[in-house]
Every structure is written in C-alpha cells, then in structure tokens.
Amino acid sequence: PHDRALARQTAARIAADGFIPWVSDAALGSIGVGTIEPVARRVLVLYNGDEAPALNYANAHRYLQMPLNHLGYVTDYADVRQGLPQQAWPDRYAGVVTWFSGFMPLARRQEVGQWLAARIDDGLPLAIVGDFGLVPERSLARRLGLARSEAPQLPLRASGQHAMMGLEAPPPLPSQQLDLPRLTPAMAQQSTPLITFDDARGQRLTGGAITPWGGFILDPDVLTEIPGTDSARWIVDPFAFVQQALRLPPLPVPDTTTENGRRLLLAHVDGDGFNSLAEFPGSPPAAQVLLQQVFEKYRIPQTMSVIEAEVAPDGLSPQLSPRLEAIARAMFKLPHLEIGNHTYSHPFLWDLSVKHGIFDDGSEAATSLKIPGYQMNLEREIVGSSQYINTRLAPPGKRVVLLQWSGDTAPSAEALAITARAGLLNLNGGDTAISRNNPSLTAIGAFGIRKGGQLQVYAPITNENIYTHLWSGPFYGFERVLETFQMTDQPRRIKPVGIYYHTYSASKPAALKALHKVYDWALAQPLHPVHASEFARKVQDFYSFAIARDGEAWRLRGQGRLRTLRLPPALGQPDPGASQGIAGWRPGAEGAYLHLSGASATLRTRSTAATTPPRPYLYDANARLLDWQASADGQRTELRLQGHMPLEFSLAQARACQVRAGQHTLSPLSGPSPAEVQRYRLPDVAAALEILCPAR
C-alpha cells in the first residue's frame, strides 16, 4: 500500500492493454490508483498531550495548522500517549509532522521511534519540529542520518543560515545551541542545511535541514516567545519549511476566503450584554441601540445571537425580559439577519476535564453565568436554548442555524456532537488578532479543529474583547481590527473579513463609533457579503473537498458550498475551453482564484504563453453563481447570480459581446478596470443574464 509509484506503473500497463485500471493492495485497505488518482490532502500530526491542557493549546495546532490549511491541507492529530494509527500510508497522507517540546513519556518512546522509522520506510515525508521527543535508537538514527556527537566545546560559531530562517525574529545567539544533532557525512551531503553551528573543535551541529526523508527544525530556532506577553515570533518560515520538508506539490487549493474573485465579508454578534443598559440618553438596553444604530442601518448579511439566561423571563433580568424579548423578535424579523444561539448560561469552560490555569478554583462563576440552582448541562445549553429561541423569539419560518461558542470557545467532542445532532452549524474560537502591535503569523489561527470526528469552525477574526483589552479600554479599540483585515489579506489572503463583536459594543459611545468605522470601511471595499452560516459550511466543505489527477487534468469535487480554488502560478493559467465547471477566474497575489459553477469541475491548465480563442468568462461578482452554461463556440453564455446585496459583477473578454438581463441590454460602468474587463451593476439581488458574442 505504500508503493504508490508501482501502483501507478501497474495502472498504466493495464490501461495500455485497453482496460480501465484500478490498483489497490490485496486487503483493499488503501485508496486505489487508476486513470484518476486522488491527491492526499491530509497531514498526520503527532503531539504529546502532556505538554498542553488540551489539543486547542498544543503548539502544532496553535501555530503550524494555519500554514498547512492555507496550503490546502487538513490536519489529523495523534496524541502519542494514546497510540498511533497503523494505516498511515501515502494514499491518504501527504506527510507526518511531529512537534514535541521535550521528551515524551518513557513508555511511548520506543513505539513512537519504531513507528516513525516505518513511515520513513514507506516513503512518507516526515517533518520534525521543536524536539525529537526521544533519543533516536540505532535503527531510527540510521534512517534519520544522525551521528552521535561529543559535547560541544565552546565557543560556538554560527556557520550557515538558510533564507527561510529569520522570518520574524533572528535565530538566538550560538551559545544557546547546545543540544543540536550532528548529521552523518552521507546525510549532510544529501541535505540542505537551514542553520548550522561549529564548535571550537570544528564539530558541525545542525539546528535544521531539509533531508532526503523530509526535514527538521529544532528549538530554539523554531519560534521565540516575547517575555511578558502572550505573543511569539516565527524564526523559521513555516510555509516554506512544511512545503519543502513534506515535499508538498503545487495543487489547486480549496479557498475559504473568497468567492467569485471577491474576498468574503461576514458579521456575527455574540449576545453578551443584551441586557446591559447603554450609556445614552434614557439608558436604553444595549440591544436596542444595536438594533437601531447597526442592524437597521447596515443591511448586509449578519448573524445575531442571544444568551437565554440574559433575555428569558426566568433568567437574570426578569423585569427587563418583556422589553428584551421584544427587541430580539424585532431583530430576528429583519430579512438580512440570521439567528444564532449563544447558549443558555454562557459557559466559560466547555470541557471541565481540561485544566485551564486561571479557572482552577472551580467556582461557579468560573464555569458559567451565576444562575441559582443550575449545574451545567450540555443538552440544556445547546438544544434547550435553541428551542427557547425558536419558540419564543424567532418569526415563523425562521430558526436558529448557528451555535456560537462562548467563554474559552473550546468545546468537547460531546458538545460538538450534540450541536451536530441538533442540526446546528457552529462557530467561534481561533483567536486571529494579528495587528501592527503584534505583527506575527503566530497571531493567525487555523480554520478549525476536529475532535472525535466532529468539526469546530473557528471565527475568521477575533472579537472586540481582545482589541479593548478584555473590555477594560480603550473602548474604541475595535477599530484596530481594520489592521487585522488588511494583514490577513496581504501578502497572503488567509482570512475573509469577519466583523465579530458582542452586544455590549453598543453600550458605550466610543465602542459604537468604532463599530460604525469598521462597518463603513467594509462596505467601501469590493467584498462578497455572506452569512456566518455560509462561511461555516465552506469550512466544512474544505475538510472534505476531493482533488484528483486525471492525466494532465484536475478533478475537483466538494459539497457545493466552497466554490473557489486558488491556482498556484506554477500550475499555469486555467484553460476554459478544455475545462468543465469553471466559470472564470481572477488574478491574486498567490495565483488565480478559480470560480466553480457547481459542486464539481474538471480543470485543465495551460502555460501563460499559450493562446486560445478568446471567450467571455466571469472575472468577479459579489453574489453566488447559481448557473453557468456556455455554448461550445463561446457565442452564447447563460448565467444566474444570487446575492444579498445589489449585484455587482465583472466579465472578461466580453468587450465585443452584448450582456442582457431579461429584455434589457446592460451598459458597462465607466472608470478604471483591468484590460479586457468590464464592470456591471444591477439594483436587484438576483438576475438571469445572457452574454451574446459574435462569431470569432
């Protein structure tokens, strides 16, 4: 099962004899190879659960998953304390990563060492980050090409540094590099060193290298923590390291940031402070200010949630409840608002078996809002509160669609499973807060986290609580989220624009002013507005999206929610005439953003030098593409767009064509635009369009 090269050769021989091939192992335990070969998009990550209170806080998840996600890969985690998967083959895994911060439990070292040696024998690339976690025994050391070194004789001298080192901080002084390995002469000859040091006797120590079996980068040359803060800086470029160590090939990347060439925009609100009295004349509830000053003004897709205990008659504010429930009903009647749920008692700790440090006192206030006689119950928090909203607050035909995690936003696998069984999507967590004050990739979170087969979807950007220093001021601090929006777009578009805050942001004039500044900025950008639930479904689709090679073509298939793939420049440009299900593309900083017209597509690419007869294609749009039908000669194209805002779209290579909406011919907008691109605008949120072109 590990010999994919032989499987491909066998499939080619069968195909040459005129048969449709499919080659697997005798036990049919591996994904077969035929004329179509699925691309392995999963990376297996080994970690030691003793090093973090939960997977959410493990270094591999906090720091390394984001670069892997951005490159198109899904992470599976294995805690070495609990055993290792036996079927870790190249048919489903692109590679294995380990991130240890010291020795793993003694009882696990031999098994883990043997397991890693077997993966190297299988040809699965291995990337070691931080520490080896063990002293490699002879067999593993031989495969890794490590030689026993003598104790370094000081002073040490830095003797080499690769270009991928020193990304956000310089490597530490050589005097700190005392526990580094020495490569055998043969391995050193075949490897590309990342950072090396020579001791006084000329012994060369290697802190990192790209090797024939993968690569390694060891502490203290991985990242550095800034004393007195929770911030860190990458020393090694994580994108370059994992790509080279795991031999990750360029592939069309399923992208959750963009649709139809425009960056996504979503806004969602946690219900905290719904019952707070705002600092405005008459002391209205903050929820009323939010309704009148934000939701009724900015009619873009938004998601609003409530905490049942803050709003309900038997909750914390019984005298205010009739007024609060009326405000919630008015909010949920707005057609551009979808309904979220922020639980019954707002748990601060979702998994009481996890040690959280500052919450170790076990007090009731440390687990949820203080509700007399109540003990936390997951069914009550998730299902019961959703029923309350659906029966008392939601208008007919509208229901809760999203569970918005509260507190530590680290739900257990059980909480995730209950949410899924209730038919709810979920969102929150991730803590993306990169800014000019903390300009590091370590401040950008992953897409989500899987526990027990269930997926928690992270919010794209963190909320105003972080920018206001846990709501201690400055209360206008949320305006700094604009820095986060910009720094997650350039030089890489890693996240959509996510406006995420609490109801209490409408309780103070400075905070409300910051909200207006953020909304006004977002509406001035050429974005693609979606509901938070639409984004959550795209992340779900990312985790299951299938990519396969079909000769020189790519087969692409998802659930139909995620419709954008990012095409690295190394793969050329899309060839629309030879592709199916590709409606167009738009150039980006990391390659073209491809627009799929449905759940599946066949993509063929060409070199930029190649020329094909010009035919119109969709350049960008602020709406979803419901249909795209192009005639074989390119003279007639029919498309349908459905969005949340008045339609804006652009077509490329259509200057000689007539664009019609119903019985009306559309005129392109004036103003600057790329060559061969024409922009259009309609007052409607949906339209059926025709592109009629002369014979070419």
CA distances from 623 to 295, 498, 615, 620 (A): 21, 17, 22, 9
The answer to whether residue 534 scores a pLDDT higher than 70 is: yes
At 59-89, the pLDDT tens digits run 999 999 999 999 999 999 999 999 899 889 8
CB 571 within 8 Å of CB 252: yes
The answer to whether residue 354 scores a pLDDT higher than 80 is: no
Region for residue 449 given its phi and psi (left: phi exceeds 0; alpha: psi -120 to 50; beta: otherwise): beta
Continuous segment of H or E residues that includes residue 682: none
Dist. CA 307–CA 291, nearest whole Å: 16
Pairing of strands 126-130, 93-100: parallel
One-character DSSP codes across 326-395:
HHHHHHHHSTTEEEEE--SS--S-S-TTS--STTTT--GGGTS---TT----HHIIIIIHHHHIIIIISP
Nearest to 528, CA basis, from 594, 461, 624:
624
- Spacing of C-alpha 623 from chain mean position: 21
The answer to whether residue 365 scores a pLDDT higher than 60 is: no
CB 345 within 8 Å of CB 366: no
Q: What percent of the chain has pLDDT over 70?
A: 97
Average pLDDT over residues 524-538: 98
**The predicted structure's pLDDT at residue 360:** 47
pLDDT-derived band at 364 (thresholds 50, 70, 90) equals very low
What DSSP designation does 441 have?
Answer: G
**The predicted structure's pLDDT at residue 178:** 72
**The predicted structure's pLDDT at residue 542:** 98
Is the Cα torsion angle 244, 591, 487, 41 positive or negative in sign?
Answer: negative
pLDDT-derived band at 577 (thresholds 50, 70, 90) equals confident
**The predicted structure's pLDDT at residue 611:** 58
Average pLDDT over residues 440-467: 97
The answer to whether residue 301 scores a pLDDT higher than 90 is: yes
Is the Cα torsion angle 597, 598, 599, 601 positive or negative in sign?
Answer: negative
With a CB cutoff of 8 Å and minimum separation 6, the contacts of 261 are 584, 585, 586, 593, 595, 618, 619, 620, 621, 650
Dist. CA 69–CA 253, nearest whole Å: 9
At 494-512, the pLDDT tens digits run 999 999 999 999 999 999 9
**The predicted structure's pLDDT at residue 138:** 86
The answer to whether residue 361 scores a pLDDT higher than 60 is: no
The answer to whether residue 200 scores a pLDDT higher than 80 is: yes
Place of tokens 């509901």: 531
Sheet of 553-557: strand order equals 36-38, 546-550, 553-557, 600-603
Q: What is the pTM of this model?
A: 0.95
At 373-429, the pLDDT tens digits run 899 999 999 999 999 999 999 999 999 999 999 999 999 999 999 999 999 999 999
At 114-131, the pLDDT tens digits run 999 999 999 999 999 999
The answer to whether residue 362 scores a pLDDT higher than 50 is: no
Q: What is the mean pLDDT of the chain?
A: 93
At 162-195, the pLDDT tens digits run 999 999 999 998 877 777 889 999 999 999 999 9
Place of tokens 């010291």: 102
**The predicted structure's pLDDT at residue 192:** 97
> Alpha-carbon dihedral of residues 515, 521, 524, 527, nearest 10 degrees?
-90
At 646-673, the pLDDT tens digits run 999 999 999 999 999 988 999 999 888 8
**The predicted structure's pLDDT at residue 609:** 57
**The predicted structure's pLDDT at residue 437:** 94
Dist. CA 696–CA 688, nearest whole Å: 25
Q: What percent of the chain has pLDDT over 90?
A: 83
